Chain A
Amino acid sequence: MPETLTTSPAAARSSSEAAAGPGPRRRRLSEFAPRLQTISTKAFVSSIGLIVLAAAWQILPSAHIVDPAFITPLSQVISTWWHMLQDGSLWSNTSTSLLRAAIGFFAAVIVGVPLGLVIGANRRAEDLLSPVLELFRNTAPLALLPVFILILGIGQVTKFVFVGYACLFPILLNTIAAVRTVDPLLVKAARVFGYSQLRIFQKVVLPASVPQIFTGIRLAASYALLVLIAAEYIGANSGLGFLIDNSEQNFQTPMMYAAIITMSLIGVLINFDLLRIERRLSTWRTA
């Protein structure tokens, strides 16, 4: 873009627009039309996959190409889902699961972020802990579920602790990495201005780390539901995982699929929201 050295407001403003990209200026309708078209084309293309999946799910079992006892036609799943929504069984199990996941997840955030900041800021602590962390990170949390049950039994606490444990690693590792990868030049500039180490941490390291810390938090949120469902397979009498497992064992396949769909929708919804927040937090990272 042209470099303007003039201080005249008109020239400055025009170059502002060039630099800042599409700002809040008014657009004519003719500019919107092609844009709208691209959006609808894009929406169509990205929904093809879902449409095909839904159609196959409906047609294949109905036509007895696959056994409808194992794969219930989509229409039947949806009507079961609606029924479960109305009799309250869906919500009670969903809310139970969400509460468990939330408790474990928030515990992991409360522990993981400060711990990661301390470890990341302290080279010796990182040297000391990183082999241990690496070992745990590469051990699938589900492999440790029996250990948790062995020690804590099959009560609520096990589920909180287990979810918290699984969520801890993405948060911890991303926070450590965020602190470690802060641009050293920014730290140098802050030192030149005479900032103390503590204030550099507060004014430079912390804000610079926010986007990646949030990436860890988003990953943890999706982990939370994932591992909770598995934990509920093994030892629970409520929750979505229980519902899926229990329906399967009682040959109530439509209920099983209804529960699975519910879980998927919640996962998509949470991830979508968190992605949006993450993008907002890291606008300055682009370019």
Chain B
Amino acid sequence: MSTEAKLHIDHVTKTFQARGAGQSLVAVQDVNLEIQDGEFLVIVGPSGCGKSTLLDILSGLTLPSSGEVLIDGKPITGPGPDRGIVFQQYALLPWRTAAENLEFGLEATGVAKTERRERALEHLELVGLADFADSYPHQLSGGMKQRVAIARSLATDPELLIMDEPFGALDALTRDALQTQLRAIWKRTGKTIVFVTHGIDEAVYLGQRVAVMSARPGRIKALVDIPAWDDAEAAEVRADPEFGRSSQVVWEQLRDEIATSQGFSATRPEPGRAGARRVGRTRELEEAGSVA
């Protein structure tokens, strides 16, 4: 194990007790990953492969059943200001303006009031929303809300930025624009980012490495190195033949896993993808609640 890794995921396994049935469910099995300082790592995997569980472990909302996660060499035992999370559904406080939402993160760490405002405005500027400091979330579009959420996570200056399918709820054009912007922000701030997505294009465009997870129980099946793209917009990079080759590699790794996970839902008359995912989420939330 190298000591300079920013984040060290060491033999992490997470098992849930399925309610009623008395059997346990292995969500994440023996995951090992090392993420370097300033790296952009993307995790892709079929639905229900335990990506969200893994992110909950990284964020400290839930503890692994075995194994451990080290950040800067120190084990994660709970949530902390050294990690910021961006959720798919933004999670902005609807009764607070954009700037006040950024301040919400800073209040937790006890930053003085005037400095909170300064840092909030500074980070809204970073995502190009300085003019919307006093707008409420319901006055903003989905893409703008997500930019506020990204700014909020960056404002606390975390060591690690965790992004859980952040662009999943956005339309294709907005997603493209935000991908380009996120890459620019990453280059500018030098943050270490762990980004989860369903989209292979998104993964190959954003990531320096792409970790492919297997169908449940979730393991890291493959790590794909991605060439460094020029500073270009997502649409231009996608036209690069090298991009196509990388996507192909990731796709081939992913294909069998998707088949496996779909085979699951074919044998068991389960609701659709979204329904199954929600069930998983709820259980994880409850589990996380009982830990706290």
Among candidates A184, A204, A283, residue contacting B93 with C-beta atoms closer than 8 Å: A204
Q: Does B61 contact A (CB under 8 A)?
A: yes
Task: List 10 A-B pairs, minimum CB-CB distance, nearest first.
Answer: A189-B91, A193-B108, A287-B138, A284-B94, A12-B131, A7-B128, A20-B139, A3-B174, A3-B143, A284-B95
Interface string of A179-215 (1 = CB under 8 A from B): 0000111101111111101010001100110100000
Question: Is B89 in contact with A185, judged by CB distance below 8 angstroms?
Answer: yes
Q: A16 in the interface, Cβ–Cβ < 8 Å? A: yes
Digitize B84-119: 1 where CB-to-A-CB distance is under 8 Å, 0 elsewhere.
Answer: 110101010111000000001101110000000000
Residue contact A191 to B79, C-beta cutoff 8 Å: yes
A1 within 8 A of B: yes
| Residue contact B141 to A192, C-beta cutoff 8 Å | no
Given contacts A20-B139, A208-B95, contact A203 B104 (CB under 8 A): yes
A residues whose Cβ falls under 8 Å from a Cβ of B: 1, 3, 5-7, 9, 12-13, 16, 19-21, 183-186, 188-195, 197, 199, 203-204, 207-208, 210, 283-287
Bound-state CA distance A182–B273 (Å) is: 25
Q: Which of A6, A19, A189, A193 makes the CB contact (< 8 A) with B87?
A: A189
What chain B residues lie within 8 Å of A16 (beta carbons)? Answer: 131-132, 135
Selected contact of B85 from candidates A184, A189, A284, CB within 8 Å: A189
Name the one of A9, A194, A285 contacting B94, with C-beta atoms under 8 angstroms.
Answer: A285
Q: Are B138 and A188 in contact (CB under 8 A)?
A: no
With a cutoff of 8 Å between Cβ atoms, the chain A residues found around residue B51 in the complex are none
Residues of A contacting B288 in the complex (Cβ-Cβ under 8 angstroms)? 188
- Which residues does chain A contribute within 8 Å of B140, judged by CB atoms? 19
Residues on B with beta carbons closer than 8 Å to the beta carbon of A284: 94-95, 136-138
Give me 20 other A-B pairs in contact (C-beta within 8 A), A7-B125, A19-B144, A20-B139 excluded.
Answer: A6-B128, A7-B130, A19-B135, A19-B140, A184-B285, A186-B93, A188-B87, A188-B288, A189-B87, A189-B91, A190-B108, A192-B60, A192-B85, A193-B105, A194-B79, A208-B95, A210-B95, A283-B136, A284-B136, A285-B94
A-B contact number at CB 8 A: 90
Interface residues of chain B, those whose CB is within 8 Å of chain A, are 59-61, 79-81, 83-85, 87, 89, 91, 93-95, 104-105, 107-109, 125, 128, 130-132, 135-141, 143-144, 156, 173-174, 177, 180-181, 285, 288, 292
Residues of the B chain whose Cβ atoms lie less than 8 Å from the Cβ of A194: 79-81, 108-109
Chain B CB within 10 Å, residue with most, of A188, A189, A190: A189
**28 A-B pairs with C-beta separation under 8 A:** A1-B141, A3-B143, A3-B144, A3-B174, A3-B177, A5-B180, A5-B181, A6-B128, A7-B128, A12-B128, A13-B131, A16-B131, A19-B139, A20-B135, A21-B139, A185-B87, A188-B87, A189-B87, A189-B91, A190-B108, A191-B61, A192-B60, A192-B79, A192-B83, A193-B81, A193-B156, A203-B104, A208-B95
CA distance A283 to B81 in the complex (A): 31
B-side contacts of A185, CB under 8 Å: 87, 89, 91
Chain A residues in 8 Å Cβ range of B177? 3, 5
